[in-house]
C-alpha cells in the first residue's frame, strides 16, 4: 500500500479515573487544541472535515452528534458522528482523505465514563429486548460465558489470563498517561472477587475518562506539515452476527476478518514477523489472548503460552500493549481503540518515553467495541 | 489556546444529575410469534431451517443470515440440549453483589445449530460442565404469557 494518508497530529486529555474539573466538552477541547498544535493546523482554516465517535446512552443525551462541533472548531463545517469503536471513526476519516474528497480531516473519540451512574444498566440495554433482556442478568455474564468457552476450547488457563493483567498493569507503571498502573501478582487476580466465573474483578479493565483527537492528511500536505508523518498502511473492520444465539462463541471471528482486510491492504502475510508490536483490545484479560490468536499473531491456543514465556512483554520478541492497554490505562469506552492507536503513533514517532520500544517501524492497533458487541476494527501504521 | 484555568477545588466541581425515562414495546415479529406460541400452547421449541446452509435457527428467523434466503421450513427442536458454555454470575444488574449465584448457559438444543441463552437450575456448582446434557422446564401452561421467561430454566437431564 503506497503512502497516501498520514497521521500528522495527535492530542489527548484526561486518561484518569475521574475528571471532575472539566466537562466532556472541555476534555474534547483540550485534546483538540493539542492535536491541532501538534499538527500545525488551524481547525477553522485548515481542517476540512471532522468525524467523531459517540453513543447516545453513554453520553446521556439523545442525538449526541449535534453536541460535537463547537469544542472541535467544527462549527459550519462537514461533521458527522459514528456510533462504533473509535477506530471505525478513524477509518471513516482515513477514507475521506483517501478518496481525494478532503485533504485534512480530524477524528475524535472520548469517554466521560465517570459521568455514567448506571453503566451496567446501559450495557444491559444493548441486549435483545425480547430474547435476552427479560433474564435481567448483569451483561458481564456474556464475558463469563465467552471466557469459559475460550479456556475450554484452547486449553488456556485462568493463570495465563492473570499474567496478561500483571503484564499490562506493570507496563502502565512506565506510562505517565496510564491511570491503573500497578505491580500485582497472578494470585492477586485469581483471588480477586469473582464477577462471572471464570471472570474476576481484576480480569476486567476499569473505566477511565479521556479524549483523543487525531489529524489526518493527504500525502502532499502531510509531508509539507509534518517532520514525522505516521503512514496508514492498512485498515479493516468486520462485524460477526450480533445475536447471542448465532455469534461465534469460540473464535473472535470479527477480529480475524478485520485483520485479514488490513493485512491484505498492507501486503502483510506473516504478521508475527512483519509487525514489530501490537496494541490490541484487552477489555478483559482473556480478550488480549483471544484477539492475539484471531489477529494471527500466533496459532490458536498459543497466546497463553507466549505470555507465560514473556514474549509479549516490553522487552519480549513481540510486545503486546506496551502502553498497558485498557487493563493498565483504563477503559475509555468507544475511545479505547483510538487509545491503542495513539500508543502506536507515539511508539513509531519515538515519543513513548520510558516504555519506548527500540527499532519499531510497523505496528498494529485493534479495537473491539466491548460488551455485548461482536464488532472490531484494525489499523496498521508505519513510520 | 487550551485551558488556562480549571476547577481546582473538589467542592467546586459542580454537576447536574439527570435521568432518561424510556419505555418501549418490542414486537416479536413473525418468527417470534410462532416461537412463543409453540412454547405457550405446546411446550415445544420451533426453529427455522436453511437447507442451503444446513443450519437451524432457534430462536427462529424468517431469513438466513448466512445466505440471506427467506426461510419457511419449520422444524421442532429440543427440548433437550447440550451446554456449550456456562458462567456463575455473582453481580446484580446494578453491579451490586447477588445474594444467590445466578447460573447462565448457552444451550444448544438437539437439532439446532444456534444456542439459547438461559438459566440452569437444580444443579450443584461442582456438577457444572461444558458438554452436560440439560432439558427445558416450562412454567405451568396457564401461567405462560409468550415470553422467554415461560422457560423457568434448564436442568440436568438426569435430575
Q: For B103-140, how does the pLDDT look when each residue is reduced to its tens digit (9 = 90+)?
A: 999 999 999 999 999 999 999 999 999 999 999 999 99
ipTM over 0.90: yes
pLDDT band (50, 70, 90) for residue B10: confident
Q: Are residues A199 and A319 in the same domain?
A: yes
Q: Are residues A336 and A271 in the same domain?
A: yes
What DSSP designation does A320 have?
Answer: B
Cα–Cα dist B44/A68, whole Å: 50
Q: Are residues A112 and A126 in the same domain?
A: no
A22 Cβ under 8 Å from any chain B Cβ: yes
Domain count, chain A: 2
Q: Are residues A187 and A328 in the same domain?
A: yes
pLDDT tens sequence across A98-108: 999 999 999 99
Mean pLDDT of A159-187: 98
Kindly determine whether residue A244 and residue B59, on different chains, have CB atoms separated by under 8 Å: no
C-alpha cell at A295: 489477529
pLDDT tens sequence across B73-109: 999 999 999 999 999 999 999 999 999 999 999 999 9
Contact A323, A178 (CB under 8 A): yes
Q: What is the CATH number of the domain that holds A15?
A: 3.40.47.10
Domain of A62? 5-118+208-230
Q: Indicate the average pLDDT of chain A.
A: 97
- In order, the DSSP letters of A5-36 are EEEEEEEEEEEES--TTS-HHHHHHHHHHHHH
Q: Is the pLDDT of residue B159 over 90?
A: no
Q: Which residue has the higher pLDDT, A215 or B10?
A: A215
Q: Is the pLDDT of residue A1 over 60?
A: no
A135 Cβ under 8 Å from any chain B Cβ: yes
Q: Are residues A242 and A314 in the same domain?
A: yes
Supply the angle between the helices A285-294 and A158-172 in degrees, to the nearest 10. Answer: 100
The domain ranges of chain B are 27-156
Mean pLDDT of A210-236: 97
Q: Which of B93, B94, B98, B100 to mutate to test the interface with A (most CBs of A within 10 A)?
A: B93
pLDDT band (50, 70, 90) for residue B158: confident
Phi, psi at A194, each rounded to 5°: -75, 130
Helical spans, DSSP H, in chain A: 24-39, 56-59, 86-98, 119-124, 140-154, 158-172, 186-191, 219-225, 253-266, 271-274, 285-294, 303-309, 325-329, 336-349
Kindly determine whether residue B93 and residue A241, on different chains, have CB atoms separated by under 8 Å: no
Taking contacts as CB-CB distances below 8 angstroms, the residues of chain B near A146 are 85
Q: Are residues A165 and A293 in the same domain?
A: yes
Overall residue count recorded for chain B in this entry: 159
Q: Is the pLDDT of residue A2 over 90?
A: no
C-alpha cell at B89: 454470575
Pairing of strands A375-382, A362-368: antiparallel
B105 Cβ under 8 Å from any chain A Cβ: yes
Kindly determine whether residue A245 and residue B32, on different chains, have CB atoms separated by under 8 Å: no
B11 Cβ under 8 Å from any chain A Cβ: no
Q: Are residues A247 and A221 in the same domain?
A: no
C-alpha cell at A370: 466491548
User: Can you give the pLDDT at residue A47?
Assistant: 98
Cα–Cα dist B118/B139, whole Å: 14
Mean pLDDT of B16-43: 95
Q: Are residues A88 and A218 in the same domain?
A: yes
Q: Is the pLDDT of residue A251 over 90?
A: yes
Mean pLDDT of A207-220: 98
pLDDT tens sequence across A287-302: 999 999 999 999 999 9
Pairing of strands A209-218, A5-16: antiparallel
Q: Are residues A355 and A370 in the same domain?
A: yes
Contact A77, A46 (CB under 8 A): no
Pairs of CB atoms within 8 A across A/B: 128
Residue recorded with cell 497463553? A304
Cα atoms found within 13 Å of the Cα of residue A104, Cβ hemisphere only: 24
Amino acid at each position: 500500500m503506497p503512502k497516501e494518508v498520514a497521521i500528522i497530529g495527535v492530542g489527548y486529555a484526561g486518561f484518569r479515573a475521574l475528571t471532575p474539573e472539566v466537562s466532556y466538552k472541555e476534555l474534547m477541547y483540550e485534546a483538540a487544541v493539542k492535536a491541532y498544535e501538534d499538527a500545525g493546523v488551524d481547525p477553522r482554516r485548515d481542517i476540512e472535515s471532522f468525524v467523531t465517535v459517540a453513543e447516545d446512552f453513554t453520553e446521556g443525551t439523545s442525538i449526541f452528534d449535534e453536541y460535537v462541533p463547537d469544542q472541535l472548531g467544527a462549527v459550519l463545517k462537514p461533521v458527522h458522528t459514528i456510533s462504533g469503536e473509535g477506530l471505525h471513526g478513524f477509518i471513516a476519516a482515513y477514507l475521506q482523505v483517501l478518496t481525494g474528497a478532503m485533504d485534512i480531516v480530524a477524528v475524535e473519540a472520548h469517554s466521560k465514563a465517570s459521568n455514567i451512574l448506571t453503566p451496567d444498566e446501559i450495557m444491559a440495554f444493548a441486549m435483545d429486548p425480547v430474547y435476552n433482556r427479560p433474564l435481567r442478568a448483569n451483561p458481564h455474564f456474556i464475558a463469563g460465558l465467552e471466557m469459559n468457552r475460550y479456556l475450554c476450547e484452547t486449553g488456556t488457563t485462568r493463570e495465563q489470563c492473570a499474567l496478561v493483567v500483571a503484564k499490562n498493569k506493570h507496563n502502565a507503571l512506565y506510562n505517565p498517561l496510564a491511570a491503573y498502573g500497578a505491580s500485582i501478582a497472578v494470585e492477586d487476580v485469581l483471588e480477586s472477587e469473582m464477577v462471572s466465573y471464570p471472570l474476576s474483578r481484576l480480569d476486567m479493565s476499569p473505566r477511565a475518562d479521556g479524549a483523543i483527537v487525531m489529524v489526518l492528511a493527504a500525502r502532499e500536505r502531510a509531508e509539507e506539515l509534518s517532520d514525522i508523518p505516521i503512514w496508514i498502511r492498512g485498515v479493516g473492520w468486520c462485524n460477526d452476527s450480533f445475536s447471542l444465539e448465532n455469534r461465534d462463541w469460540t473464535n473472535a471471528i470479527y477480529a480475524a476478518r478485520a485483520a485479514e482486510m488490513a493485512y491484505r491492504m498492507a501486503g502483510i502475510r506473516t504478521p508475527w514477523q512483519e509487525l514489530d508490536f501490537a496494541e490490541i483490545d484487552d477489555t478483559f484479560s482473556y480478550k488480549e489472548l483471544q484477539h492475539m490468536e484471531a489477529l494471527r499473531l500466533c496459532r490458536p491456543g498459543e497466546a497463553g503460552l507466549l505470555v507465560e514465556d514473556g514474549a509479549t512483554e516490553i522487552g519480549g520478541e513481540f510486545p503486546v500493549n506496551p502502553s498497558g492497554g485498557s487493563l493498565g490505562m483504563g477503559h475509555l469506552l468507544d475511545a479505547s481503540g483510538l487509545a491503542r492507536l495513539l500508543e502506536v503513533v507515539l511508539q513509531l514517532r519515538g515519543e513513548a518515553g520510558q516504555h519506548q520500544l527500540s527499532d519499531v517501524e510497523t505496528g498494529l492497533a485493534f479495537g473491539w467495541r466491548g460488551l455485548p458487541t461482536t464488532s472490531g476494527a484494525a489499523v496498521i501504521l508505519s513510520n | 489556546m487550551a485551558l488556562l484555568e480549571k476547577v481546582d477545588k473538589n467542592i467546586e466541581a459542580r454537576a447536574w444529575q439527570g435521568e432518561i425515562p424510556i419505555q418501549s414495546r418490542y414486537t416479536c415479529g413473525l418468527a417470534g410469534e410462532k416461537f412463543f406460541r409453540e412454547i405457550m400452547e405446546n411446550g415445544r421449541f420451533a426453529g427455522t431451517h436453511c437447507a442451503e446452509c444446513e443450519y437451524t435457527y432457534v430462536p427462529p428467523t424468517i431469513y438466513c443470515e448466512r445466505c440471506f434466503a427467506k426461510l419457511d421450513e419449520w422444524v421442532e427442536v429440543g427440548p433437550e440440549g447440550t451446554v456449550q458454555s456456562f458462567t456463575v454470575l455473582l453481580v446484580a444488574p446494578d453491579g451490586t453483589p447477588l445474594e444467590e449465584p445466578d447460573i447462565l448457559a448457552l444451550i444448544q438444543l438437539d437439532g439446532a445449530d444456534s444456542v439459547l441463552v438461559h438459566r440452569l437450575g437444580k444443579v450443584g456448582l461442582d456438577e457444572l460442565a461444558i458438554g452436560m446434557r440439560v432439558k427445558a422446564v416450562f412454567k405451568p401452561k396457564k401461567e405462560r404469557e409468550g415470553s422467554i421467561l415461560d422457560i423457568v430454566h434448564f436442568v440436568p437431564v438426569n435430575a
